[in-house]
Structure 1
């Protein structure tokens, strides 16, 4: 640990912080090109001014070295992806390694010794510089869980430390800007406590992408929203909760990037007449036409679904849902993204992370609001508008944000009803019980979180949304 603190002190002296006031970090997946018809997207289809940071997901690993996942990634997609910087010289590009399907076995093997970590680090620097990436994103799900031994929590920390030191040394030698280092991390408390030393990661990483989504889905027996902004008294899981949990444990606010999902989670209702929040469900709704994954709809598929569905707004959680017959989807739209962006600004977090660009309405084909309507909402509020404070709504949203800092004690611990589940967008059956893992050990005490304020006395409810109008309701 003395070695860690010594190196950390050197890194902090030498480090040069990059970027705008708010980061807009956007993931692009290397399977997006394989979707059928108008849902397919290639790197050259991206707007280089849309995000401040683009992350290519995912690279792989072979014999403790980072490698391209597919031959076409290295030959075609990496060059196209980084060519976007010719049009926007402020844009930063990173390469992400890992993901849910990657598992933990290869990470554990690489982390097991200084020699294997050094081999990995040297290969990372070589690959990033060869293909003109600006940094590395670690998408390890999760140290100490899913077959990863408990000591991976610490060897992962050693890797982050050694990567940063190597990046700093390499930058001095070749007289180029240091490679950036970020990580995608869980927003679920028992995973955070098992997998991460939050305080030290907060000092070592340039920014931290919090996976503040997949909080509810068809693996559960009752409907719940994929990514609510605020918690309910009986359900602490929310985006604000995840962000405040990381901050409470010592991560700097300005390095915490809140996750914004461009997809919804679906349920098949037990009864068509019982279609609200916490309604009984018996599994996933039908797969989307393009993503072909039960329990999951990309935003462009949601747009097609809601045209014939009844839409509602959850006035405690600032997110919409829709139902049609026995099919139910909790999703995000431009309005919920706006509220979440205002929360990021009000709480002085570092910005927004989008999972993923390719699940937004890329060409404006499906939703009728132009290309990338969700991500452009974030761009307008966090990037273009960074010098102009955005006024917050003058109703309970403001008090709920303040509430997040003070009076948010949880009286009941979160127990083993929470599963470890994959982040959205990978082509898999996320409902498989084999892909879930109960948390280890005793119940976790959560401390503070963000919840609907106590003065809101009516039962948690929803407001119907007028067809064709995505209007908000105020108290």
Structure 2
């Protein structure tokens, strides 16, 4: 994670535009089509995001585990002219070949937290909309992807809401029913109100609820990155997020619970304190701190999350480990959810082996055995 901020800042510099001829269909002029109700599998699935910028350090043969059911190849995005941007280091053929050898479907993930900047303007312009959406569909078909994941962070008004509806309808109309379409959702109503679930659920297979980043540099106090339950200093938690989206109309089996393979550090000596610096840290890096005598491990029984404290240097880490993730998976089964989605699968790799992903697969397997 040391270089993550630098890599993210270079996203747009690293990109190149994918341009291709396409048949022009203006979304605002499309006739009404028959609604295709999508059905997600009854199987509890494990989804893993695989960002292209980690591929050189953690190549597909290391990162892609057969414990994953769906691999989300992240990210591509539109530029200001509506062209599909494919980053130069986006070696999708290697990813798809490695995944297919393990019978894993690969989904192309569009957008991203730092590369969603032009989505609103592009989707709001009929010509740019059609250019981008058509290039995206063509790229998916030509490269043997099994679907598209939309990670637009985030729609911010009613115009965005309508344009996202048109975008998803266009994708389903041009991909057909055999392709997977998923959408990544925020954990609360602040941005969640701009997702038209009543419309989208007719076209979308899976909704990934990003149940992490509940606290960070933007917060008032040092909170919890991904609390399952309420605590002393978190107004939101995973249970509230799931209940919110179920109330909004998402079917439980269409919902995937977000699992972070990273945590958040704060320059505070315990939770619920004021701070002025915060940053993200991979599970791999956090795990190494357990060997450091300056760090103490604690378990928060209220939020069901672990944390580390370094009193000497005044550092507090909120993160997830096998115990907290097992609690979340048990909760996902209890709520009859469709599965979990991991951001992201390289962050637990040590010596070319996953340290958390195998635990997730083991927990899922054990719960299934108990249910039978």
Question: Counterpart of 2:329?
Answer: 341
Q: Which is richer in strand?
A: 2
Question: Counterpart of 1:81?
Answer: 95
Instruction: List aligned pairs for 1:227-266, cutoff 5 A.
Output: 227-232=226-231, 235-266=234-265
In 2, are the aligned partners of 1:60 and 1:69 still within 8 Å (CA)?
no
Question: Counterpart of 1:112?
Answer: 124
Question: Which sections of structure 1, spanning at least 5 residues, go unmatched?
Answer: 35-39, 172-177, 270-274, 285-294, 365-370, 392-475
In 2, are the aligned partners of 1:313 and 1:321 still within 8 Å (CA)?
yes
**Deviation of the 1:307 alpha carbon:** 2.1
Q: d(CA) in 1 for partners of 2:231 and 2:283?
A: 25
Q: Is 1:143 equivalent to 2:134 in the alignment?
A: no
Instruction: List aligned pairs for 1:16-165, cutoff 5 A.
Output: 17=39, 19=41, 21-33=43-55, 40-62=57-79, 63-70=81-88, 72-73=89-90, 77-89=91-103, 91-104=104-117, 106-144=118-156, 150-165=158-173
Q: d(CA) in 1 for partners of 2:181 and 2:199?
A: 14
Q: d(CA) in 2 for partners of 1:240 and 1:311?
A: 24
Question: Counterpart of 1:315?
Answer: 301
Question: Which sections of structure 2, spanning at least 5 residues, go unmatched?
Answer: 1-28
Q: d(CA) in 2 for partners of 1:18 and 1:249?
A: 18
**Deviation of the 1:210 alpha carbon:** 0.8
Deviation sequence 1:196-222 (CA, Å, 0-9, x none): 112222232110111110001233342
In 1, are the aligned partners of 2:50 and 2:71 still within 8 Å (CA)?
yes
* Change in 2 beyond 3 A, CA 1:8/1:267: farther
Deviation sequence 1:53-103 (CA, Å, 0-9, x none): 001111122432323122x32xxx2111101244223x1101111112114
Question: Counterpart of 1:281?
Answer: 275
* Change in 2 beyond 3 A, CA 1:386/1:179: farther
Match of 2:343 among 355, 368, 377: 355
In 2, are the aligned partners of 1:22 and 1:386 still within 8 Å (CA)?
no
Deviation sequence 1:296-317 (CA, Å, 0-9, x none): 1100000112222101000011
**Deviation of the 1:283 alpha carbon:** 1.9
Task: Give the greater-gyration-radius structure (CA).
Answer: 1
Pairs aligned (count): 341
**Deviation of the 1:386 alpha carbon:** 6.7
Question: Counterpart of 2:4?
Answer: none
* Change in 2 beyond 3 A, CA 1:191/1:5: farther
In 1, are the aligned partners of 2:41 and 2:338 still within 8 Å (CA)?
no
Q: d(CA) in 2 for partners of 1:390 and 1:267?
A: 40
Determine helix, strand or coil for the equivalent of 1:260. strand
Match of 2:290 among 306, 327, 346: 306
**Deviation of the 1:120 alpha carbon:** 2.3
In 2, are the aligned partners of 1:50 and 1:376 still within 8 Å (CA)?
yes
**Deviation of the 1:233 alpha carbon:** 6.7
Q: d(CA) in 2 for partners of 1:41 and 1:78?
A: 14
Question: Counterpart of 2:192?
Answer: 192
Q: d(CA) in 1 for partners of 2:96 and 2:146?
A: 9
TM-score by length of 1: 0.67
Q: d(CA) in 2 for partners of 1:212 and 1:354?
A: 10
Q: d(CA) in 2 for partners of 1:5 and 1:51?
A: 38
Q: d(CA) in 1 for partners of 2:234 and 2:265?
A: 18
Q: d(CA) in 2 for partners of 1:265 and 1:4?
A: 45
In 1, are the aligned partners of 2:40 and 2:206 still within 8 Å (CA)?
no
Runs of 4 or more, structure 1, over 6 Å off, are none
TM-score by length of 2: 0.85
Determine helix, strand or coil for the equivalent of 1:7. coil
Instruction: List aligned pairs for 1:196-215, cutoff 5 A.
Output: 196-215=195-214
Aligned alpha-carbon RMSD (Å): 2.5
Q: d(CA) in 2 for partners of 1:21 and 1:243?
A: 19
Deviation sequence 1:192-251 (CA, Å, 0-9, x none): 11x211222223211011111000123334221100101237633111211111111111
Q: d(CA) in 1 for partners of 2:31 and 2:249?
A: 16
In 1, are the aligned partners of 2:74 and 2:109 still within 8 Å (CA)?
yes
Q: d(CA) in 2 for partners of 1:237 and 1:339?
A: 17
In 1, are the aligned partners of 2:260 and 2:344 still within 8 Å (CA)?
yes
In 1, are the aligned partners of 2:233 and 2:272 still within 8 Å (CA)?
no
Q: d(CA) in 1 for partners of 2:320 and 2:31?
A: 41
Q: d(CA) in 1 for partners of 2:325 and 2:48?
A: 14
